[in-house]
């Protein structure tokens, strides 16, 4: 690496010269190429993601109807949300209940299924992953549940129950408060086998078979021990990714609820923060208030992310 031409010169200055040359080399051969590789993404990321996020945060302190220019109103939006707006309280509670149940369950399910599917030969594995990934491929696949749970006797579930005589008249599943949340959670779990599931599968491909063989020699007897001591620690990076995707999906769910139960749903049973936010922005043109809600939702998700990071750390090694 270093050219020692002047080895007869005094030792100290030469050493420091070499050092500075080494660090310059490091900048030239390591830092600069790395920064060039990062740059294209960072530019797009800044222009199309960070700038809009910053402007939403600024807009959250204004009153903005998208026609006249925004008017600064301080923390009024936040005060209104927490003190005055009872609907926000309801939607925040629904969002939390939904996220706390559907998030972790979706996370576990997508890992467990990926782990099971990964046991098979490549061809079988491809077929099985196709089956579980199918809802994501269809796009808006929840429409089938709309048909299934339809409240008239044309609904698949009603017509089935009617024909075998369990019920005598059709049940309005999607118009009954107590049915709504469980139905939505089940449908969410069923369609959550998308990104997390496939990324878990590709993570499992790189858990070394040598590690499993070594584990078997070291006395690992069944698949549960193998899971605990080899697979889970090796899957840490993918598990964190999948957890973040689940947090994102479960806290910002709204399409599913609006499509199946309508907005507002019966008794506000499944209206989430994002449903309310959509309503504020598109129907009532209160964009400043909608932005404030999205900031509060963001804070909730960041808190969930930090908590999940702590929990996952416990499974490391």
Q: Please say which residue, 82 or 295, places its beta carbon nearer to other proteins.
A: 295
Q: Which stretch binds other proteins (CB under 8 A): 77-85, 141-149, 165-173, 176-184?
A: 141-149
18 binds other proteins (CB under 8 A): no
Q: Please say which residue, 84 or 213, places its beta carbon nearer to other proteins.
A: 213
153 binds other proteins (CB under 8 A): yes
Residues 6+ apart with CB under 8 A from 153: 159, 162, 170
Note the Cα 314 to chain centre separation in Å.
Answer: 21
Out of 66, 75, 167, 311, name the contact with other proteins by CB under 8 A: 66
Question: Residue 147 corresponds to which tokens in the numbers above?
Answer: 């048909």
**Helix residue spans in 46-164 (DSSP H):** 51-59, 76-79, 86-117, 122-138, 143-148, 156-163
Out of 14, 220, 263, 266, name the contact with other proteins by CB under 8 A: 220
CA distance 26 to 130: 46
**Helix residue spans in 170-286 (DSSP H):** 177-191, 195-205, 209-217, 223-226, 232-234, 236-251, 255-261, 273-282
Contacts (CB under 8 A) with other proteins, residues 29-48: 29-31, 33-35, 37-38, 40-42, 44-45, 47-48
206 binds other proteins (CB under 8 A): yes
Q: Which stretch binds other proteins (CB under 8 A): 14-22, 98-106, 113-121, 175-183?
A: 113-121
CA distance 227 to 216: 12
x/- string (CB under 8 A) for other proteins, residues 276-305? Answer: -xx--x-----x--xx--x--xx--xx--x
């Amino acid at each position: 690496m270093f050219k020692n031409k002047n080895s007869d010169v005094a030792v100290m200055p030469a050493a420091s010269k070499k050092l500075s040359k080494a660090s310059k080399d490091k900048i030239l051969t390591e830092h600069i190429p790395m920064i060039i590789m990062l740059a294209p993404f960072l530019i797009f990321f800044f222009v199309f993601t960070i700038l809009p996020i910053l402007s939403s945060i600024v807009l959250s302190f204004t009153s903005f109807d998208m026609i006249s220019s925004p008017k600064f109103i301080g923390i009024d939006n936040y005060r209104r949300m927490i003190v005055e707006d009872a609907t926000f309280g309801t939607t925040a509670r629904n969002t939390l209940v939904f996220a706390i149940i559907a998030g972790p369950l979706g996370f576990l399910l997508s890992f467990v299924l990926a782990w099971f599917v990964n046991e098979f030969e490549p061809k079988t594995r491809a077929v099985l992953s196709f089956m579980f990934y199918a809802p994501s491929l269809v796009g808006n696949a929840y429409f089938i549940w709309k048909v299934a749970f339809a409240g008239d006797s044309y609904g698949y579930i009603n017509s089935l129950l009617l024909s075998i005589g369990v019920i005598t008249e059709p049940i309005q599943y999607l118009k009954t408060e107590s049915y709504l949340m469980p139905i939505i959670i089940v449908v969410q779990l069923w369609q959550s086998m998308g990104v997390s599931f496939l990324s878990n599968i590709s993570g499992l491909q790189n858990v070394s078979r040598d590690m499993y063989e070594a584990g078997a020699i070291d006395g690992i007897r069944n698949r549960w021990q193998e899971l605990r001591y080899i697979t889970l620690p090796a899957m840490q990076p993918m598990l964190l990714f999948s957890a973040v995707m689940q947090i994102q999906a479960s806290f910002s769910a709204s399409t599913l609820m609006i499509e199946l139960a309508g907005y507002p749903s019966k008794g506000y049973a499944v209206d989430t923060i994002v449903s309310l936010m959509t309503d504020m922005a598109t129907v009532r043109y209160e964009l400043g208030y909608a932005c404030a809600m999205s900031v509060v939702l963001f804070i909730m998700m960041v808190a969930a992310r930090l908590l999940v990071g702590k929990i996952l750390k416990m499974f490391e090694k």
